Every structure is written in C-alpha cells, then in structure tokens.
C-alpha cells in the first residue's frame, strides 16, 4: 500500500507533488548476501515543503538520497520503484538524460562538504562548470554574473570566487555547495546531513541560509539528519526510517503530538527536554543487521508493545488524517499506540501511589517500559 | 611568500651543485692506489711499442699541466672556478680535447632520444593508466594490464637486447646500432634526418616500452583511489559530463602524485637511458661514459657524472618551481 495521501496537509487539493517516490527499493549485493537498504519507500513532496528524513545511522537515509539522484554504485542497485520530479520520471530516463537532470531538476547538498569540492581548481570554475553544462547557451559574462549572484545568495563575498577550497572555512565550503545546489533553481533539493561536519554555531547559520533560499525560491527540500530535535525546528514534515523502511511520516506537529509508531514515540521521548536536562535517554536494544532481519515487523526486537502478530506479519502502511502514515500493527488495535502509552502511564501511576501508601521503595515488577 | 620560496629553492640548488663539485674534487684525490696519468702514459707508450726512459719526466710534466703539483687548497679554488665556467678539464684519453666538448658532442644524441622517450612514455602511460581505471572506458583496455606489468618489470637494457635480436638481427627492420649509417656525414638534409630518426627508433622504443607500463600502473592506482574521493561523487551529482569529470577532476588530481613520481624517478630513467645507449652503440652521453670507464678516462668520467648531477638538479628545480602551479595547496611559507 502506498502512502499517496502523505504530506497533503496544508496543500490545496489538486496540487501536484513536486517529488513523488513510489515503492523505491535499493539492494546492496555484499559478500554476506543481499541486503535491502531501502525497502518500498513511498512519499510525496509538494512545492515549498520541507521534509526531514531521520533515522539511526545505517537505516538507509543516504541510500535514499543517492537513489533519488540515481547515483547508487555497484554493488548496489535500484531494484524497484519509481521517482518522479514533476512530470519527469527519473527512473525511466537514459543515463544521459539523468545526468542532465542532476542539479537542474533535483539538486543535492553533499554530506561531506569539507571534501566535496575539487581541491585544485578555484571556486569560480567549480560553479562555472555546473552552469555551463546545464545551460550551454549562456555567454561568458552571463556565467560570471550568475556566479556572483549565487555567491551573494549564500552570503559569500565575490572574492571567494577566486579562492581555492583549502582557503575556505567549513561553513564557507558548505555555502559554496548550497550555491551550486540552487544555481539552476531545481524543483527539489536533497541535503544529506548538510551540517554534520560543522560546529554548532555555523550549523545554525547554514541551516538559516538553506531555509531562507528555500522560501525565496520555493524549492522543496528533503533534509536528512539523525538529530530529531534539531530537525523538528526546521521541517514541516518528518519521515522516520527504521532498517530501510519508512516507519512513520507526517506533519511535524502531528508526529510530535500523536505518534503512531512506537519507534517515533521512543525517539521523541528520548529527546532531552529542559525539565530533565543532560539526561539523554537512548533507545534500548541494537538495530538489527540488514542481513539478518527479524520476521514480521523489523522493530519487534526493540518494541515495548510487541504483540503476537508482530512476529508473523509485516505491518502495512496505514493512513491517518492530514497525510499521516505509519506502519505498525497497533493501528488496528482499538486505542492504538496512544491507548497503550496511556495505559502504561496509568499503571505506573497506580503503582507509584500504591508504593507511597505502603511506604516501600522497592521497584515494581512492571516498571520497565523499554525506554526508561 | 612566493619570491622567498623561489630564492630559497634556487639557493638550495647551488648548495647541491657545490657539494657535488666538492665530492667530485675530493674523490679522485682520495684514490691513492692508482695514478691515472702514469697509467695513461704507460698504456700509450706500450701502444707505441717502446718504453721511454724519461717516463718520470713526462709524468711530472703532465702533473704540472693538470695543475696537480699545486697545494690542494689552491687546486680546489681553481677547480671550483673552472667548474663555474663549465670547464671540466681535459680528457685523458682524447687529450687535449676538453671534457665539456666531448659532452657537447654526445649531448644532442642523448637529449633527442631520452627526452622523446620520457615525454612519450610519461604521457602515454598516464593517459593509458587513467583510462584503465575509468569504469566507463572501453573494457578492452583492461586487457593491457598484464602486458604493462610484464614490460614494466623488464629492465631497459634487456628489453633493448630483445628488440635488437628480433627487429634488427632477425627481421632486419631496423639497424643493429649506431646513431647514423657508417660512412655518411652528418648534415641537415632530409635524407640524413630520416636516417637519424630510423636509427633512433629502436633505442627510443625500448625505453618507451620499458617505462610506459610503470607510469600506467602508477596512474591507474592513483585514479582508482581518487574515484573514491568525495569530490568525484559530488562532480557526478553536479551532472557534469564524463569527460569533464575524467579530465578536470580525476586526471587533474591524479597528476599531482604522478608528477612527483616523475621527479623521483628521473635519475633512474637517465641511468637506464645510458645503458640503452651502450646496448645500441648510440653515440650519446651513456656511450661516452661507457667508453671512458673502459679506458680509465677519469677526467671524462667525473665530468660526465658532475654534468648529470647538474642536469638532474636543474630539472628538479624546474619541477619544484612548477609544482605549486599545479597544486595550489602547496604552502610557500612552509616549503
Ligand atoms: N556500498 C555499499 N555496499 C554495501 N552495503 C552498503 C553500501 N552502502 C550502504 N550500505 C548499507 O546500506 C545501509 C544503509 O546505509 P546508509 O544509506 O548509508 O545509511 P544512513 O545514511 O542512514 O546512515 C547500511 O546498513 C549499509 O551497511
Ligand atoms: S508492528 Fe508490532 S513490533 Fe512493530 S512497531 Fe508495531 S507494535 Fe511494535
Ligand atoms: Mg548517511
């Protein structure tokens, strides 16, 4: 079942998605066997939206980014699904058509900004070649004007054009990459952990620049990251990945207020809040290897609400109001995840008051919730 | 700053030249066991068929002529001054011919085939190696690797001998040796130049065959490494054409270690070229050195060695000065 209604909240009906991903699958053929790093991923992105893609390291975020650019290298392969940008089907394009689509239809801000620029040629030449290859009709002076224009757009001085990458700070390099990504005004930009190599202050500034350009140019952005808290402040939609699958996707406020997948719920409650600062509550258990996934639901080895059906059947995607989709068997249970969470909270409260009455400090048998 | 670096590098060059000259001066004077002058005179008089009774007088006279009777410090100063004027003394065997003249006569031959061979094999090997490593290049190229490996493992002179045997001795496609046909007089006519090229073919070929493989394998390794670099993936994400990525990103970056490799192996290449000349009887510096060694022509031997050091020093100096132009990351202050 595809998540067709995904992300439609706040979008006038009839608006076509700018990026439409349907049942995208990517396999890697390793010595130890085939692994599916992206498993039937489906989502829609509408003009001007910001979608955050979060998940633990190894959950397949970069794989999706590369698959959208059709840059999966052997031993990997896109083994199924479709990627549409507007009316263009990227998965059906010839290699040369796809080459010409990169940065023009679908831009990318690389994860490794520190080493993504060619160390031996000047910044000017690195912006120039992308302009010239996609817009061969530009005159020399038009190209030069465009270079200065995009540098200004990312708040870099014109002199930066004459510098080499090693003469730039990390933040400046990332800005150059952003300038290249917006230079051809693509409809979609994918940014794979664009600030992971930068320090916190620079991170903020770079994110603000991405946000401003996104608004000004009405580009849709897929922002990949592993920090859910940081992401929540920046994106209007969130997609949570687990072991190559989309666990849940929906508008950020909805996801925070009423998550429908235990993994999302645990990620949110593990975020440090002002009340209990410094106490980082991780998620217990380890991510299963993509080569040895459990039957049924991939999350069942770590899920506190696991049921019998979870080990026999893989959950399908269930759509909720406002473009909210989750894949969890709890959706079919009355009360859903919320009901289970509340029941647990009530039980704990009862236990606490009972203990207070008795005056004993002993821990109750039911106290472990899996994310304490 | 730039000028500071250049001046520093040039000073270093002169320091090395001074050191080489000094070693060249000291070494023969340490060899007390043999007296080259006496040996030469004995050899010559034996050829003449009689033993001169005034041998000692002649030895003495020659010692004066070569300035060997002077005190050592004075000899040293004279020697340095002469070296500075490119005066490397006179040949013992071809007395009174100046060593510098002998070198001058042999140099064009060597310069011709060696520079041609180095430039050709370096260019060819670099392009070939880059293409072999390129996933989207013709598959066929990958089959050249075993041949390249084989050729790069065979020394220049052995390859030369093999080529002589097959192409000159058996097939008679090329002359067995020499720089031009015996009996012709060097001139700038088309006919003579054709013969020159014809004679230069096999020696050049043996050098090119022997070293192209090495350059190709080195470049292939570099290109494979560079293809894993983030900027190569990003270049692809930019939607650049294959040729732009190949030349502007791949080859451009792999050229840096490749050029360093050239600088490092230059001495070896020149030594190999010398052996090839001896094998082919080619009238260049290598053959001159070979002759001088068999004839105990000490002044010429030392002259050639010193000349080679200077040449190598100059080439390395030029490469060093050019290197910052191809790698902008070279820091002048630290260099
Ligand atoms: N080149 C590759 N060869 C084999 N497996 C790979 C390769 N690239 C990624 N993978 C596997 O795919 C999974 C997802 O990786 P990735 O997309 O990089 O995750 P993320 O970006 O979320 O950290 C990982 O389990 C990893 O082992
Ligand atoms: S399907 Fe079952 S195991 Fe998987 S997340 Fe839902 S409740 Fe947990
Ligand atoms: Mg990643």
ipTM summary value: 0.87
Residue A228, in any domain of the structure: yes
Q: Which residues pair with A43 in a beta bridge?
A: A21
Q: Which domain holds residue A278?
A: 256-358
Residue B293 pLDDT? 87
Q: Which residues pair with A20 in a beta bridge?
A: A44, A84
Smallest CA-to-CA distance from B152 within B206, B212, B207, B201 is with B212
User: What angle in degrees, to the nearest 10, is found between the helix axes of A170-182 and A123-134?
Assistant: 20
CB proximity list for B220: less than 8 A, separation 6 or greater: B129, B130, B132, B133, B145
Residue A370 pLDDT? 38
Calculate what percentage of chain B has a pLDDT beyond 90: 22
For the segment A85-96, the average pLDDT, to the nearest whole number, is: 96
- Residue A212 pLDDT greater than 90, yes or no: yes
Q: How many Cα atoms are found within 13 Å in the side-chain-facing hemisphere of B123?
A: 6
| Residue scoring higher pLDDT (A296 or A199) | A296
For the segment B159-170, the average pLDDT, to the nearest whole number, is: 84
**Cβ–Cβ gap B235/A133 under 8 Å:** no
- Give the pair of three-digit tokens for residue A144: 């030069």
**Strand locations in chain B (E):** none
For the segment A360-366, the average pLDDT, to the nearest whole number, is: 47
The three-point CA angle B77-B81-B86 to 5° equals 145
Assess contact for A316 and A327: CB atoms under 8 A. Answer: yes
Chain B residues whose beta carbon lies within 8 Å of the beta carbon of residue A129:
238, 240, 244, 248
User: The CATH number of the domain where A216 resides is what?
Assistant: 3.40.50.300
Residue A372 pLDDT? 35
* Strand pairing category for A245-251 and A318-320: unpaired
A297 Cβ below 6 A of ligand 2: yes
| Residue scoring higher pLDDT (B92 or A85) | A85
Calculate what percentage of chain B has a pLDDT beyond 70: 91
| Residue scoring higher pLDDT (B44 or B255) | B255
- Flag whether residue B228 sits within 8 Å of chain A, measured between CB atoms: no
Judged by average pLDDT, the poorest of A15-29, A266-280, A311-325 is A266-280
Instruction: Please state the domain count of chain A.
Output: 2
User: What does pLDDT average to over chain A?
Assistant: 88
Rounded to 5 degrees, φ, ψ at B153 are: -90, -15
Residue A364, in any domain of the structure: no
Indicate if A244 and A314 belong to the same structural domain. Answer: no
- For B282-310, b/e burial (b = at least 16 CB within 10 A) is bbbbbbbbbbbeebebbbbbbbbbbbbbb
Nearest CB to A110; choose among B230, B244, B328? B230
Residue B316 pLDDT? 87
Indicate if A123 and A52 belong to the same structural domain. Answer: yes
Radius of gyration of chain B (CA): 25
Lookup result for tokens 């060694």: B293
pLDDT tens for residues B243-269?
A: 999 999 999 999 999 988 888 888 888
| Helix (H), strand (E) at residue A242 | strand A237-242
Judged by average pLDDT, the poorest of A7-16, A316-325, B142-151 is A7-16
DSSP reduced 3-state for B259: helix
| Residue scoring higher pLDDT (A61 or B315) | A61
Indicate if A169 and A260 belong to the same structural domain. Answer: no
Indicate if A29 and A63 belong to the same structural domain. Answer: yes
A315 Cβ below 6 A of ligand 2: yes
Indicate if A224 and A261 belong to the same structural domain. Answer: no
**Cβ–Cβ gap A120/B327 under 8 Å:** yes
Residue A187 pLDDT? 93
Judged by average pLDDT, the poorest of A307-311, A314-318, B2-6 is B2-6
Res. B332 pLDDT band, cuts 50 70 90: low
Assess contact for B39 and B296: CB atoms under 8 A. Answer: yes
**Cβ–Cβ gap B233/A103 under 8 Å:** no
Looking at residue A168, what DSSP letter applies? S
Distance CA B100, CA A364 (A): 101
Chain A residues whose beta carbon lies within 8 Å of the beta carbon of residue B240:
99, 129-130, 133
Judged by average pLDDT, the poorest of A97-101, A359-363, B87-91, B94-98 is A359-363
- Give the pair of three-digit tokens for residue A196: 């992971």
Indicate if A153 and A173 belong to the same structural domain. Answer: yes
Q: How far is the CA of B208 from the centre of ligand 3 (A)?
A: 46
- Residue B207 pLDDT greater than 50, yes or no: yes
pLDDT tens for residues A259-292?
A: 999 999 999 988 876 655 555 556 888 888 999 9
Residue A363, in any domain of the structure: no
pLDDT tens for residues B215-250?
A: 999 999 999 999 999 999 999 999 999 999 999 999
Judged by average pLDDT, the poorest of A16-25, B219-228, B305-314 is B305-314
DSSP reduced 3-state for B180: coil
**Cβ–Cβ gap B239/A129 under 8 Å:** no
Q: For ligand 2, pick from A301, A305, A318, A335 the residue to mutate: most ligand atoms within 8 Å of CB.
A: A305
Q: How far is the CA of A51 from the centre of ligand 3 (A)?
A: 16
Taking CA–CA distances from A189, the nearest residue in chain B reads B237
Cα dist from A271 to A53, A190, B295, whole Å: 16, 25, 87
Residue A37 pLDDT? 96
Residue A55 pLDDT? 92
Judged by average pLDDT, the poorest of A109-118, B152-161, B213-222 is B152-161
Residues in chain A: 372
- Give the pair of three-digit tokens for residue A297: 């639901």
Looking at residue A14, what DSSP letter applies? T
Residue B49 pLDDT? 59
3 state SS for A109-125: ECCCHHHCCCCCCCHHH
Assess contact for B251 and B130: CB atoms under 8 A. Answer: yes
Q: For ligand 2, pick from A247, A300, A313 the residue to mutate: most ligand atoms within 8 Å of CB.
A: A300
Contact residues, chain A to chain B, C-beta under 8 Å: 69, 71, 99-104, 108, 110, 112, 115-121, 129-130, 133-134, 164, 166, 177, 180
Residue A51, in any domain of the structure: yes
Distance CA B93, CA B87 (A): 17
For the segment A154-170, the average pLDDT, to the nearest whole number, is: 96
For the segment B305-315, the average pLDDT, to the nearest whole number, is: 88
Indicate if A323 and A231 belong to the same structural domain. Answer: no
Residue A76 pLDDT? 95
Judged by average pLDDT, the poorest of A173-187, A283-297, B118-132 is A283-297
- Evaluate whether the domain defined by B104-294 bears CATH number 1.10.3720.10: yes
**Cβ–Cβ gap A71/B236 under 8 Å:** yes
Residue A5 pLDDT? 43
Q: Which residues pair with A248 in a beta bridge?
A: A240, A326
Smallest CA-to-CA distance from A127 within A104, A146, A153 is with A146
Lookup result for tokens 């030469």: B40
Residue A275 pLDDT? 59
Which ligand is nearest the CA of A285, by number?
2
Residue A6, in any domain of the structure: no
How close A293 gets to chain B, by Cα (Å)?
Answer: 29
| Residue scoring higher pLDDT (A286 or A208) | A208
| Residue scoring higher pLDDT (A101 or B297) | A101
Residue A372, in any domain of the structure: no
- Give the pair of three-digit tokens for residue B275: 């052996």
Pocket of ligand 1 (CB under 6 A): A 28, 30, 37, 55, 57-63, 75-76, 290
Res. A363 pLDDT band, cuts 50 70 90: very low
* C-beta atoms surrounding A188 within 10 Å: 22
- Residue B181 pLDDT greater than 80, yes or no: no
* Atom 7 of ligand 2, residue of closest alpha carbon: A306
CB proximity list for A162: less than 8 A, separation 6 or greater: A122, A123, A124
Indicate if A205 and A339 belong to the same structural domain. Answer: no
Chain A residues whose beta carbon lies within 8 Å of the beta carbon of residue B323:
none
Res. A8 pLDDT band, cuts 50 70 90: very low
Residue that is last in its domain, among A218, A235, A251: A251
**Cβ–Cβ gap A166/B328 under 8 Å:** yes
Q: How far is the CA of B298 from the centre of ligand 2 (A)?
A: 90
- Residue A71 pLDDT greater than 50, yes or no: yes
Indicate if A78 and A144 belong to the same structural domain. Answer: yes
- Residue B52 pLDDT greater than 70, yes or no: no
Res. A7 pLDDT band, cuts 50 70 90: very low
| Residue scoring higher pLDDT (A241 or B30) | A241
Smallest CA-to-CA distance from A126 within B256, B255, B248, B230 is with B248
Nearest CB to B239; choose among A103, A117, A118? A103
A105 Cβ below 6 A of ligand 2: no
Distance CA A319, CA A234 (A): 24
Residue A3, in any domain of the structure: no
Radius of gyration of chain A (CA): 23
Chain A residues whose beta carbon lies within 8 Å of the beta carbon of residue B229:
115
Indicate if A152 and A25 belong to the same structural domain. Answer: yes
Residue that is last in its domain, among A234, A251, A268: A251
CB proximity list for B24: less than 8 A, separation 6 or greater: B302, B305, B306
Domain boundaries, chain B: 104-294
Residues in chain B: 335
**Cβ–Cβ gap B238/A117 under 8 Å:** no
- Residue A10 pLDDT greater than 60, yes or no: no
Judged by average pLDDT, the poorest of A106-120, B50-64, B190-204, B235-249 is B50-64
DSSP reduced 3-state for A225: strand
Rounded to 5 degrees, φ, ψ at A192 are: -90, 105
Nearest CB to A116; choose among B230, B328, B329? B230
DSSP reduced 3-state for B59: helix
- Give the pair of three-digit tokens for residue A265: 């719920």
Residue that is last in its domain, among A251, A277, A297: A251
Closest ligand 1 atom to residue A61 Cα is 22
CA B147 from centre of chain: 25
Closest ligand 1 atom to residue A64 Cα is 17
The sign one gets for the Cα dihedral B126, B132, B135, B138 is: positive
Residue A371, in any domain of the structure: no
Rounded to 5 degrees, φ, ψ at A247 are: -80, -45
User: What does pLDDT average to over chain B?
Assistant: 84
Does the model's pTM come out above 0.95?
no
Q: For ligand 1, pick from A58, A227, A286, A289 the residue to mutate: most ligand atoms within 8 Å of CB.
A: A58
First to last CA, chain A: 34
Q: Which residues pair with A36 in a beta bridge?
A: A27
Distance CA A118, CA A120 (A): 6
CA B247 from centre of chain: 29
**Cβ–Cβ gap A119/B236 under 8 Å:** no
- Give the pair of three-digit tokens for residue B284: 């260049």
**Cβ–Cβ gap B329/A100 under 8 Å:** no
* C-beta atoms surrounding A183 within 10 Å: 25
Indicate if A86 and A144 belong to the same structural domain. Answer: yes
- Residue A207 pLDDT greater than 50, yes or no: yes
Assess contact for A198 and A206: CB atoms under 8 A. Answer: yes
* Atom 6 of ligand 2, residue of closest alpha carbon: A328
Indicate if A67 and A178 belong to the same structural domain. Answer: yes
- Residue A330 pLDDT greater than 60, yes or no: yes
């Amino acid at each position: 079942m595809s998540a067709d209604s995904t992300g439609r909240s706040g979008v006038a009906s009839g608006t076509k998605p700018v990026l439409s991903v349907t049942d995208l699958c990517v396999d890697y053929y390793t010595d130890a066997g085939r692994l599916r790093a992206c498993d039937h991923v489906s989502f829609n992105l509408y003009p001007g939206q910001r979608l955050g893609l979060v998940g633990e390291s190894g959950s397949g975020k970069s794989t999706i980014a590369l698959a959208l650019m059709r840059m999966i290298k052997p031993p990997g392969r896109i083994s199924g699904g479709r990627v549409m940008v507007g009316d263009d089907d990227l998965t059906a394009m010839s290699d040369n058509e796809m080459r010409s689509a990169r940065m023009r239809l679908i831009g990318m801000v690389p994860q490794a900004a520190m080493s993504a620029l060619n160390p031996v040629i000047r910044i000017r030449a690195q912006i120039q070649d992308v302009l010239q290859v996609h817009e061969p009709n530009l005159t020399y002076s038009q190209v030069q004007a465009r270079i200065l224009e995009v540098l200004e757009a990312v708040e870099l001085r014109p002199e930066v054009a004459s510098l080499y990458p090693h003469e730039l700070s990390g933040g400046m390099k990332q800005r150059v990459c952003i300038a290249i990504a917006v230079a051809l005004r693509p409809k979609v930009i994918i940014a794979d952990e664009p600030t992971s190599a930068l320090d916190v202050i620079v991170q903020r500034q770079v994110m603000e620049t991405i946000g401003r350009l996104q608004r000004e140019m009405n580009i849709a952005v897929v922002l990949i990251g592993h920090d859910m808290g940081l992401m929540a402040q920046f994106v209007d939609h969130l997609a949570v990945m687990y072991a190559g699958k989309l666990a849940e996707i929906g508008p950020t406020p909805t996801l925070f207020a009423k998550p429908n997948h235990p993994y999302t719920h645990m990620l949110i409650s593990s975020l440090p809040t002002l009340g209990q600062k410094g106490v980082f509550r991780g998620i217990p258990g380890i991510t299963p290897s993509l080569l040895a996934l459990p039957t049924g639901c991939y999350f069942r080895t770590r899920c506190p609400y696991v049921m019998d059906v979870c080990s026999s059947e893989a959950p399908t995607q269930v759509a909720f109001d406002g473009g909210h989709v989750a894949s969890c068997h709890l959706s079919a249970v009355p009360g859903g995840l919320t009901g289970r969470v509340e029941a647990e909270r009530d039980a704990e409260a009862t236990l606490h008051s009972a203990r207070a009455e008795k005056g004993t400090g002993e821990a109750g048998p039911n106290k472990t919730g899996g994310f304490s | 700053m730039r000028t500071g670096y250049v001046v520093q590098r040039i000073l270093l060059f002169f320091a090395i030249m001074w050191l080489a000259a000094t070693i060249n001066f000291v070494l023969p004077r340490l060899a007390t066991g043999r007296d080259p002058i006496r040996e030469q005179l004995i050899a010559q008089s034996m050829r003449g068929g009689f033993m001169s009774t005034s041998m000692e007088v002649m030895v003495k006279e020659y010692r004066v002529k070569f300035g060997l009777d002077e005190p050592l410090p004075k000899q040293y100063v004279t020697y340095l001054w002469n070296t500075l004027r490119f005066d490397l003394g006179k040949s013992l065997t071809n007395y009174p011919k100046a060593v510098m003249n002998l070198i001058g006569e042999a140099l064009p031959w060597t310069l011709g085939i060696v520079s041609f061979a180095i430039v050709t094999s370096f260019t060819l090997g670099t392009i070939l190696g880059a293409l072999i490593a390129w996933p989207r290049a013709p598959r066929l190229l990958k089959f050249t690797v075993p041949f390249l490996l084989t050729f790069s493992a065979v020394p220049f002179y052995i390859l030369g001998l093999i080529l002589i045997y097959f192409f000159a001795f058996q097939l008679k496609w090329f002359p067995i040796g020499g720089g031009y046909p015996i009996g012709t007089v060097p001139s700038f006519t088309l006919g003579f130049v054709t013969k020159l090229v014809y004679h230069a073919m096999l020696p050049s070929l043996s050098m090119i065959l022997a070293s192209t493989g090495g350059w190709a394998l080195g470049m292939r390794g570099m290109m494979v490494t560079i293809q894993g670099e983030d900027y190569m993936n990003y270049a692809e994400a930019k939607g650049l054409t294959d040729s732009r990525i190949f030349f502007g990103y791949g080859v451009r970056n792999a050229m840096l270690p490749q050029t360093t490799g050239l600088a490092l192996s230059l001495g070896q290449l020149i030594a190999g070229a010398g052996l090839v000349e001896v094998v082919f009887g080619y009238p260049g510096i290598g053959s001159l050195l070979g002759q001088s060694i068999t004839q105990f022509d000490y002044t010429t031997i030392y002259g050639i060695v010193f000349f080679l050091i200077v040449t190598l020093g100059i080439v390395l100096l030029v490469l060093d000065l050019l290197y910052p132009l191809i790698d902008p990351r070279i820091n002048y202050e630290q260099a």
